[in-house]
């Protein structure tokens, strides 16, 4: 048997390639088919495992990208809004990035990545596509600190979009955290403001140009001595979630109303901390007084659209100091500037 | 069913398992060059429990399958496996075939001998021949002997394998 096998093996060794090739091919296609199939399956399994690892790596990469995508989309949207605002602005401005800090007071004072080297100086207004953010508190060479509307000492002279009421807007002392609101103070008792009314900066005082959206009136907080009302205002812009802002560097900017047309006066994004459900819009009629002044406001005072001449109080900011030379005071130690002398009455057609 | 038929049945089952291991598991788990050669292990196990003629015939068939599946020189594996099967059957008369270490040693030597004949018969150049026989073949022989020892221990009841020397 052994000799026979060896002879056959040697014969196969020295057989022509044509014969051995056809013999091997015949074996592979008949008897060895199961073995070839087994080996194919094994190779397929091995390559499948490699492909699975590749696919898992790609899936992990895609999952990581998907996690980042919403924030990128939101930032893209903010930048587009900011770009639209910058196109509408006809005043000098500097685009800045907000460097948020991990502190609970981050929304009161913001650190910006622009400073005097970029033309920023103290008391420059800061705006976002949604509206007013605050004002430059002090500026160093490449960075600056901004006081936002949520700071307790923030003040801005404001008026309603229809020009019916003037007052001072300040941060509500009772609002904190997720319930941040502004107060529209000093509105005469006879001038009721309908909920939903947009409040704009009046331009009085020389710091904030006229026409920057501040927020929307959502109701009455209290009355002061029976002659004035304090309204609650939902802020238009949220400093806590703002990543990019514009610093208005023009010194004698009187109005930026063209940068905020009426169709852009929308409330702040729902992700902000000041979000609150708005009250339903009520039809204004003589028999249906607005909900902001329940039982107190007369119906005919709420439907008045023709503005009357008012004595508009100015905002609290001082006119154009030298911020670079001025030492930066601590926010808590800085006293609120007393109101300036009352300005001349504002003509109705100048408010809008 | 008598003992001889039972032993042959066990051997067939183990050989089928080895074929499965060789053609399905080995490509998935091991690097091909150093992977254990389960076919040669099965051939030696079969030859050590059979006569020289049956061992030579088994070697011939295993070599035929190997030559048909690998595009080397046809007949080289047939010759090598035939000689290895015949020698393994004769080795049973010389050594204690029921010891696991002896079986493992047979497998290692048989694989190296198979590679030697295969490389020479297929006309391998001398430099490559030395590298193959000095490096790769000994490594593969050790790996195959280890894997074979594990298989023998797993089926030691069927093969009547002794653990002590």
Domain segments of chain A as ranges: 21-83, 89-333
Torsion of CA A276, A281, A285, A291, to 10 degrees: -20
Residue B164 in any domain: the answer is no
Low-confidence ranges of chain A (pLDDT < 50): 266-314, 316-352
Say what the pLDDT of residue A331 is.
40
How close does chain B come to A58, measured CA to CA in Å?
Answer: 23
CATH number at residue B146: 1.10.1760
Say what the pLDDT of residue A318 is.
42
User: Which residue range is the domain that position B112 belongs to?
Assistant: 3-159
Backbone angles phi, psi at A186, to 5 degrees: 75, 20
Which helix (DSSP H) or strand (DSSP E) does residue A293 occupy?
A: none
Q: How many CA atoms lie within 13 A of B147 on its CB side?
A: 22
List of residues 6+ apart from B31 with CB closer than 8 A:
none
Size of interface A-B (CB pairs under 8 A): 91
Q: DSSP letter for A236, please.
A: S
Query: Residue A234's Cα: distance from chain center in Å?
Result: 15
Question: How many whole angstroms separate alpha carbon A171 and alpha carbon B125?
Answer: 91
Say what the pLDDT of residue A228 is.
86
Say what the pLDDT of residue A233 is.
93
Question: How many whole angstroms separate alpha carbon A89 and alpha carbon A126?
Answer: 13
Using only C-alpha atoms, chain B has a radius of gyration, in whole angstroms, of 15
How close does chain B come to A51, measured CA to CA in Å?
Answer: 14
Q: Which ipTM was obtained for this model?
A: 0.77
Q: If contacts are CB pairs under 8 Å, which of residues 305-324 in chain A contact chain B?
A: none
Whether the Cβ atoms of residue A236 and residue A216 lie closer than 8 Å to each other:
yes
B44's tokens: 């030696």
The confidence band for B91, taking pLDDT boundaries of 50, 70 and 90, is confident
Say what the pLDDT of residue A177 is.
53
How close does chain A come to B163, measured CA to CA in Å?
Answer: 32
The sheet with strand A109-112 has its strands ordered as A93-97, A244-248, A125-127, A132-139, A144-148, A109-112
Say what the pLDDT of residue B90 is.
86
Say what the pLDDT of residue B162 is.
57
Say what the pLDDT of residue A15 is.
85
> Is the pLDDT at B82 greater than 90, yes or no?
yes
Question: How many whole angstroms separate alpha carbon A184 and alpha carbon A238?
Answer: 17
How close does chain A come to B43, measured CA to CA in Å?
Answer: 15
Q: Is B86 on the interface with A (CB under 8 A)?
A: yes
**Domains held by chain B: number:** 1
**Yes or no, beta carbons of A39 and B86 under 8 Å apart:** no
Neighbours of B29 (CB within 10 A): 12
Contacts of A17 in chain B (CB under 8 A): 74
Nearest residue of A to residue B30 by CA position? A46
Residue B165 in any domain: the answer is no
Residue B98 in any domain: the answer is yes
List of residues 6+ apart from A26 with CB closer than 8 A:
none
pTM beyond 0.80, yes or no: no
Say what the pLDDT of residue A68 is.
74
Whether the Cβ atoms of residue A170 and residue A280 lie closer than 8 Å to each other:
no
Burial class of residue B123 in the structure, from the number of CB atoms within 10 Å of its CB (0-12 exposed, 13-18 middle, 19+ buried): exposed
Mean predicted confidence (pLDDT) in B139-154: 89
Whether the Cβ atoms of residue B139 and residue B34 lie closer than 8 Å to each other:
yes
Helices (H) and strands (E) in chain B, counts: 9, 0
Range name among A93-102, A179-188, B14-23, B42-51 with the lowest pLDDT average: A93-102
Angle between helices A33-88 and B3-20 in degrees, nearest 10: 30
Q: DSSP letter for A350, please.
A: G
Question: How high does pLDDT run on average in chain B?
Answer: 83
**Yes or no, beta carbons of A32 and B24 under 8 Å apart:** no
Q: If contacts are CB pairs under 8 Å, which of residues 114-153 in chain B contact chain A?
A: 121
Mutate to test the interface with A, among B16, B20, B21, B27 (most CBs of A within 10 A): B27
Question: How many whole angstroms separate alpha carbon A7 and alpha carbon B11?
Answer: 28
> Is the pLDDT at B98 greater than 50, yes or no?
yes
Say what the pLDDT of residue A313 is.
47
Q: DSSP letter for A312, please.
A: P
> Is the pLDDT at B142 greater than 60, yes or no?
yes
**Yes or no, beta carbons of B28 and A5 under 8 Å apart:** no
Query: Residue A238's Cα: distance from chain center in Å?
Result: 6
Name which residue leads in pLDDT, B74 or B95.
B74
């Amino acid at each position: 048997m052994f000799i026979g096998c060896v002879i056959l093996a040697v014969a196969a060794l020295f057989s022509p390639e044509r014969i051995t090739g056809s013999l091997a091919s015949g074996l592979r296609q008949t008897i060895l088919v199961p073995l070839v199939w087994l080996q194919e399956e094994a190779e397929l399994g091995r390559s499948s495992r490699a492909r699975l690892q590749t696919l898992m790596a790609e899936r992990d990469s895609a999952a990581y990208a998907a996690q980042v995508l919403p924030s990128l989309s939101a930032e893209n949207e903010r930048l587009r809004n900011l770009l639209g605002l910058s196109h509408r602005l006809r005043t000098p401005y500097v685009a800045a990035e907000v460097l948020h800090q991990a502190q609970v007071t981050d929304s009161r004072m913001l650190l910006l990545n622009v400073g005097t080297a970029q033309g920023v100086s103290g008391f420059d207004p800061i705006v976002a596509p949604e509206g007013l953010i605050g004002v430059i508190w002090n500026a160093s060479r490449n960075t600056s600190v901004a006081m936002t509307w949520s700071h307790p000492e923030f003040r801005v002279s404001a008026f309603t979009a229809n020009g019916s009421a003037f007052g001072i807007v300040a941060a509500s002392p009772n609002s904190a955290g997720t319930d941040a609101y502004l107060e529209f103070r000093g509105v005469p008792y006879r001038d009721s403001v309908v909920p939903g009314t947009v409040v704009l900066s009046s331009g009085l005082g020389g710091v904030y140009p006229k026409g920057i959206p501040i927020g929307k009136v959502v109701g009455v907080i209290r009355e002061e001595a029976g002659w004035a009302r304090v309204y609650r205002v939902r802020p238009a812009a949220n400093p806590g979630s703002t990543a990019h802002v514009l610093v208005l560097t023009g010194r004698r900017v009187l109005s930026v109303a063209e940068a905020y047309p009426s169709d852009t006066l929308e409330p702040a994004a729902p992700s902000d901390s000041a979000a609150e459900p708005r009250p339903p819009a009520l039809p204004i009629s003589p028999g249906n007084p607005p909900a902001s002044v329940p039982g107190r406001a007369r119906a005919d005072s709420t439907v008045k659209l023709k503005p009357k001449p008012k004595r508009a109080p100015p905002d609290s900011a001082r006119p154009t100091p030298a911020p670079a030379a001025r030492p930066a005071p601590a926010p808590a130690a800085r006293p609120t500037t007393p109101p300036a002398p009352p300005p001349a009455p504002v003509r109705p057609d100048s408010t809008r | 069913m008598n003992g001889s038929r039972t032993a042959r049945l066990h051997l067939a089952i183990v050989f089928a398992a080895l074929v499965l291991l060789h053609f399905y598991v080995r490509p998935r788990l091991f690097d091909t060059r150093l992977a254990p050669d389960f076919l040669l292990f099965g051939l030696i196990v079969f030859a050590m429990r059979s006569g020289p003629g049956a061992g030579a015939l088994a070697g011939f068939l295993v070599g035929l399958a190997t030559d048909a599946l690998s595009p080397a020189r046809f007949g080289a594996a047939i010759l090598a496996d035939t000689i290895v099967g015949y020698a393994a059957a004769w080795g049973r008369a010389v050594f204690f075939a029921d010891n696991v270490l002896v079986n493992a040693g047979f497998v290692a030597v048989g694989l190296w001998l198979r590679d030697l004949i295969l490389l020479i018969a297929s006309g391998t150049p001398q430099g490559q021949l030395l590298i193959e026989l000095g490096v790769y073949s000994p490594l593969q022989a050790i790996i195959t002997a280890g894997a074979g020892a594990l298989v023998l221990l797993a089926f030691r009841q069927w093969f009547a394998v002794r653990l002590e020397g």
